Amino acid sequence: MNTDNQKLHLTDETIQAIILFQQNEINEYHIYNRLAKKIKDVNNASVLSRIGDEEKAHYEILKKYSGREVSPNWLKINWYYYISRIFGITFGIKLMEKGEEKAQQAYARHINDIPEAAGILADEDKHEHELIALIDEERLQYAGSIVLGLNDALVELTGALAGLSLAMQNTRLIAMAGMITGIAASFSMAASDYLSKKADDASKNAGKSATYTGLAYIFTVILLIMPYLLFSNYLICLGLTLTIAILIIFFFNYYISVAKDLNFRRRFAEMALISLGVSALTFGIGFLIRKGLGIEV
């Protein structure tokens, strides 16, 4: 054990904790610096690079107390790097920061054992606030438009497909009717969003907002109708469509909750209950209409 360890009388448990801290710091150093090299915005890249260098400095401080070199975990580094590249730097870094909360709690427990721990903890808190102010991604600027398109498609189309399923009981007819309804509704929704933004004097971004809304709607329509193009039993198709709807709601709300620090459970439960509730209601309406008109398919 080196002289620093002897001087501070660090326990084996504390040394193992320090090694874990080192691993976290060296991983984040590589993640931040790799991302900094890929960001076009010079200011954002500079801030990320600086934070990465601070993480490396933390690693060197901790190494004095552990007396060990710790190799980067390239599997974890690549995971967060590619998550950030695919889903956006905001989501990737916020996801990583959530994982870092445990490390920060561990720092707090060892402040009395490591003189520099309080400074490292303060740096980590500063990083979090800098990152929030740092990132300005287009996909998050238009998150409201994407939510509008996704939510409307989920509520309207799951309801329509549920009603059509019982009324028609023919998967090809249901798919055709659903596709026509969905595409028409996507254009209508995009146009409404465009006019709404123009009315709010946001004409500069009205076109992009409408595009995000329309694309989100069409993407959701395609996924929801897919089972009706692959299977012949309309009840199985309806079950798969509702499952896909829940998965879309789950993943999208998880993404937004991480990227924007929102409550995931509440948002997911609310959106899922609305979509499933409308589906159940329109399924019953489809049954009543079919019986009322005396149509047997």
pLDDT of 245 over the 50 cut: yes
The rounded distance, in Å, linking the Cα atoms of 242 and 251 is: 14
The rounded distance, in Å, linking the Cα atoms of 154 and 226 is: 14
The rounded distance, in Å, linking the Cα atoms of 5 and 15 is: 8
Dihedral angle, C-alpha 285, 286, 291, 292, nearest 10 °: 60
pLDDT of 107 = 61
pLDDT of 243 over the 70 cut: yes
pLDDT of 283 = 67
pLDDT of 141 = 65
**Environment class of residue 13 by beta-carbon count within 10 Å: exposed (0-12), middle (13-18) or buried (19+)?**
exposed
pLDDT of 7 = 44
Confidence band of 292 (pLDDT split at 50, 70, 90): low
Q: What pTM, to 2 d.p., does this model score? A: 0.68
Nearest to 189 by CA among 221, 217, 147, 208: 217
- Domain positions in the chain are 3-136, 139-293
pLDDT in tens, 51-108: 888 889 888 888 888 888 999 999 999 999 998 888 877 788 878 877 666 666 666 6
Q: Cα–Cα–Cα angle for 165, 166, 168, nearest 5°?
A: 70
Per DSSP, 234 falls in state H
List, in sequence order, the alpha helices (H) in the chain: 3-8, 12-38, 42-66, 74-87, 89-109, 117-134, 138-141, 143-168, 171-199, 203-230, 234-260, 264-293
pLDDT of 202 over the 70 cut: no
pLDDT in tens, 23-54: 888 998 999 999 888 888 787 788 888 888 88
pLDDT in tens, 15-24: 877 888 888 8
pLDDT of 287 over the 60 cut: yes
CA 251 to chain centre: 7
